Structure 1
Amino acid sequence: MREILIVGGGYAGFCTAWGLEKRLRPGEARVTVVDPRPYMTYQPFLPEVVAGSVEARHAAVSLRRHLRRTRLVAGSVTEIRHSARTVTVRPESGPSLDLHYDVLVVTAGAVTRTFPIPGLSDQAYGLKHVEEAVAIRDRLLTSFDRAAGLPRGPERSKLLTVTVVGGGFSGVEGFGELLALATALLKQYPEIGADEPAFHLVEARDRILPEVTDRPGAWVVRSLEKRGARVHLNTQLVSAEDGRVRLSDGTEYDSGLLVWTAGNAANPIVHNHSDLPVDERGLLTVRADLRVTTDTEVVPDVWAAGDDASVPDLAAGRPGAHTVPNAQHAVRQGKRLAKNILASLRGRPAKDYVHRSLGVVATLGLGRGIFQYRGLVIKGFPAWLMHRGYHVLAIPSWERKTRVFAVWATALLYGRDIVSLASVQHPREAFVSRGEPRRGEEPAQPGDRLTA
């Protein structure tokens, strides 16, 4: 059998493996997926995980549950050597191993782009994984619990101040859901005044949501500001040391929660630790049929899709256009990739990836959203319903769709869950200390950042 090795189990990798499983004949090829996590994260649901509108586990799709005929290797790829048809993997435990392949599929995804800003690595949370979304939610809930027991003052103000850096879809949706959660929490915390929570959205460009046009983007800013938020445009984070936020526009304040969503960067495995061709951004260069290619020729038996690939956008109608890194493209590229690999194995020509956007839709908090398709713009509650409807249909497997929908239906009757489980970050604390502070240490505070 031919060995098909897929690097990365995200949207594109999962959908590629899933499609191959459904169509491969017995004995035709064996599929292996390498990923450090045993699940695929459906990232569009992470803002709703932050708000408690989606259960954390329901935003993750188990690889073993759905890829039953695929070999799964839990580990991180450290090097790709196509000259030797070998990938080096560092497993979760044990020594590194080399995996050999006949066909390579690179769907490693992108990583969060960061900058050497003082205090950023110590204070900030990302928003690309389920664990981060849960930690952000627990941090906010715990901050409300602690603030309710304090008198008004600097410490209480810091606990009730939230900063999100990045005005793309991830940042704006996460910000809107956090704002909606905090507003809902005020009903349960009579000790905290409606004027006390402070929310800051920081964006380096002169607008947010670059995927929508100027007027809808400006409407989103006005909508957030009417809800009490402050949006800083043309502004960068300068420092976050000890929770003290300093912005390039001169604003300075203490923030108890800092979330960083300022864009993606090329996966270092692709642009630093492989012999495959990449462009100036560090992304794999591919043809429209998703084959990896140099300027002059196709790299044999190597395919790529998703956020780590520079895929030509044939539907854009202009030369040099590339698909944007989002779930809408990654899922469809994975499906096309599975069909093209099968066609190649069976001696048939591969087809180009062409997808015309269905529009863009974003949630801005419970009951609020925005949708745009060309000149058509829908705002408010209808757009929010469209967001939920689209993503519950888009998440892979009917099992996950049913679970997500069940949580939404329950929330209609009983509201969102506001229990914080921040102590799960220190699961042995109660057992070890038995309620007593350890000698020479302050008692652990729920919501304190877990550090390695």
Structure 2
Amino acid sequence: MRTILIVGGGYAGFYTAWRLERKLRRGEARVVLVDPRPYMTYQPFLPEVLAGSVEARHAAVSLRRHLSRTDIIAGRVTRIDHAHRRVTVRPALGEEYALGYDIIVVTAGAVTRTLPIPGIAERAIGMKHVEEAVAIRDRLLTAFDEAAGLPPGPLRRKLLTVTFVGGGFSGVEGFGEALALAGSLLRRYPELNPDELSFHLVEARDRILPEVTDAPGEWVVRSLRRRGGHVHLNTQLRSARDGHVVLSTGEEFDSELIVWTAGNGANPMVHNHTDLPVDTRGLLTVRADLRVGTDEAPVPDAWGAGDDAAVPDLAAAGDGAATVPNAQHAVRQGKLLAANLIATLRGRKPEPYLHHSLGAVATLGLGRGIFQFHRLVVRGFPAWLMHRGYHVLAVPTWERKVRVLAVWATAVPFGRDIVSLRSVQHPRDAFLTGAGPRVPAPAHGVDPPEGTSAGDARRT
């Protein structure tokens, strides 16, 4: 029985394994998936996780629950040696080891692209994983609690200042949802003045949302500005040391929360630690049928899809274009990859990947959105409904669909949950504070230290 090894459990990897489980005959092949996380993150829900409109765990699809016939390895592939059909796996615990395979599927995904800007590594937080979205939400809620106990002044202004860097879908959606959450919080904090809120979106280009045309993008900018957001176009972040933000325009301000969403970069493992062919950007070279290589030089038993693969875009007008790295392509590529892999196992010809865009849809906060399909543009509440409808259909498994719908339904009468659980990031703090300093047990006939009962001393 041949072993199919899937590197990465994101969209493309999860859907490849999911479809293989359904289509493979018993004993036809063994499927192994390696990923450091035990779940697939449904990234379009992260802005709503940030805003509290979606429960964090509902944006994560358990690999072990939904891939019951796949061998799941909790670890990270650090090197691919396809010439010898083996990879190096770094497990969560223990030493690295070699793992053999017959067929490899590389769907490791991209990584957050960072720049050497002073203060970013120390202060910023990304928005690519569930943990990050939860941390952003908790920090924003905690900042409101802390600011409410302070008199007006620089520290209070810093706590109520939020900066998003990057004007793509992640940045704009996260910024819009954070802005909406902050607006709703003000009703619960009469001590705070709306004028003290300062939300900044910094984009190096002259427009945001490159997936939509100019007019809808300009409408989004106007909408965010009407709601009190500061949108800085043609602007670069120069420094964020100690939370002091310096922009290329000369503007400076202190910001307690800095969110980095300035695009994705090539996966270092794919770029630097594999003998499979990669292009100048560090992406896996993939044919239209998702097999690694080119039409002239195919690589046997190697496949790739998703954000770490340069998949030819057959729907594009010009030659040489690759599909954009988004969920819409990754999901469909994963499904086709599984079908093509099975076809080759059974002696049939694989099909090329061809997908025409279904349009672009984004949430800009509760009840606000933007949708574009060719010349059709929908704005406001209808677009927001379309966003929710599309993604509840797109999130995999009925179990997750029902859970998300249940949270949305309860939010209608009860509103947002505004409890911060930032302390969960340091779960031992309360225990250590309660334990206090260790007091030695007194010798027989000796009184315990002043202020400490004998019982307390014995328990200590």
TM-score by length of 2: 0.94
Q: State the 1:295 CA deviation.
A: 7.2
| Alignment-derived partner of residue 407 in structure 2 | 407
- In structure 2, distance between residues paired with 1:296 and 1:284: 16
Distance apart, 1:318 and its partner CA: 2.1
Counterpart of 1:369 in structure 2 is: 369
Q: Deviations over 1:156-196 (max 9, x none)?
A: 00000000000000000000000000000000000001111
Quick one: distance in 1 between partners of 2:71 and 2:220? 45
Q: Which amino acid aligns with 2:54?
A: V
Partner residue, 1:48:
48
Distance 1:98 1:368 in 2: 50
Kindly indicate whether the alpha-carbon contact (under 8 Å) linking 2:112 and 2:264 is maintained by their aligned counterparts in 1: yes
CA distance in 2, matches of 1:78, 1:247: 37
Q: Give the Å deviation of 1:435.
A: 7.9
Greater gyration radius: 2
- Aligned twin of 1:395: 395
Cα distance in 1 for residues equivalent to 2:91 and 2:8: 14
Identity of aligned residues (%): 74
Match of 1:184 in 2: 184
What is the one-letter code of the residue matched to 1:430? A
Q: Distance in 1 between matches of 2:128 and 2:432?
A: 32
Q: Which amino acid aligns with 1:236?
A: Q
Give the length in aligned residue pairs: 438
Please tell me whether the aligned partners of residues 204 and 233 of structure 2 are also in contact (alpha carbons under 8 angstroms): yes
Q: 2:140 matched to which residue of 1?
A: 140
Q: Deviations over 1:83-137 (max 9, x none)?
A: 1101100000111111111110000000000011111011000000000000000
Residues 298-377 of structure 1 aligned to structure 2 (within 5 Å) = 298-377=298-377
1 CA distance for matches of 2:284 and 2:33?
19
Report whether the alignment pairs 1:160 with 2:160: yes
Provide the rounded CA distance (Å) in 1 between the counterparts of 2:295 and 2:65: 40
CA gap of 1:416–1:437, structure 2 versus 1, over 3 A, is farther
- The CA deviation at 1:294 is 4.3
The answer for the alignment partner of 1:420 in structure 2 is 420
**Deviation per residue, 1:204-252 (Å, 9 max, x gap):** 0000000000010000000000000100011111111101000111110
The Cα offsets for residues 330-353 of structure 1, whole Å up to 9 and x where unpaired, read as 000000000000001101000001
Q: Which secondary structure state, in structure 2, belongs to the residue aligned with residue 186 of structure 1?
A: helix
TM-aligned CA distance change 1:241 to 1:382, over 3 Å? same
What code does the residue aligned with 1:229 have?
G
Residues in 2 aligned to 1:261 and 1:334: alpha-carbon distance in whole angstroms: 25
Counterpart for residue 229 of structure 2: 229
Following superposition, the deviation at residue 437 of structure 1 comes to 9.9
User: In 1, Cα distance between the equivalents of 2:402 and 2:250?
Assistant: 48
Report which stretch shifted further, 286-295 or 298-307: 286-295
1:2 aligns with 2:2: yes
Q: Does 1:247 align with 2:240?
A: no
| Whole-angstrom CA distance in 1 between matches of 2:317 and 2:71 | 40
Per the alignment, residue 106 of structure 1 pairs with: 106
* Secondary structure in 1 matching 2:262: coil
CA contact (8 A) 2:287 2:294 kept: no
Q: 92-101 vs 414-423, which deviates more?
A: 92-101
Instruction: Tell me the amino acid that sits aligned with residue 195 of structure 1.
Output: D
Q: Does 1:201 align with 2:177?
A: no
Distance 1:210 1:220 in 2: 12
Gaps of 5+ in 1: 439-452
Contact 1:50 1:134 in 2 (8 A): yes
Shift of 1:400: 0.2
Asked if the contact 1:277–1:294 (Cα under 8 Å) also holds between the matched residues in 2, the reply is no
Q: Deviations over 1:304-332 (max 9, x none)?
A: 00000001111123211111111011000
- Describe the superposition over 1:247-299 as per-residue Cα deviations: whole angstroms up to 9, x where unpaired: 11111000000000000000000010101111111000111100010473100
| Alpha-carbon distance change, 119 to 295 in structure 1, aligned in 2, over 3 angstroms | farther
Distance in 2, matches of 1:108 and 1:437, equals: 47
Other-structure match for 1:282: 282
Q: Kindly tell me: are residues 271 and 196 of structure 1, through their superposed partners in 2, closer, same or farther at Cα, counting changes over 3 Å? A: same
Q: Which residue of 1 aligns with 2:265?
A: 265
Give the TM-score of the pair, scaled to structure 1: 0.96
Shift of 1:53: 0.2
Structure 1 residues 12 and 252: CA distance shift in structure 2, 3 A: same
Q: Any residues of structure 2 matched to 1:70-109 within 5 Å, and which?
A: 70-109=70-109
* C-alpha RMSD of matched pairs (Å): 1.1
Question: Which amino acid letter does the alignment assign opposite residue 146 of structure 1?
Answer: E
Aligned to 1:450: none
**Superposed CA offset, 1:43-76 (max 9, x none):** 0000000000000000000000000000000001
Distance in 2 separating the partners of 1:317 and 1:191: 56
Partner residue in 1 for 2:442: none
Report the secondary structure of 2:194's partner residue: coil
Aligned twin of 1:21: 21
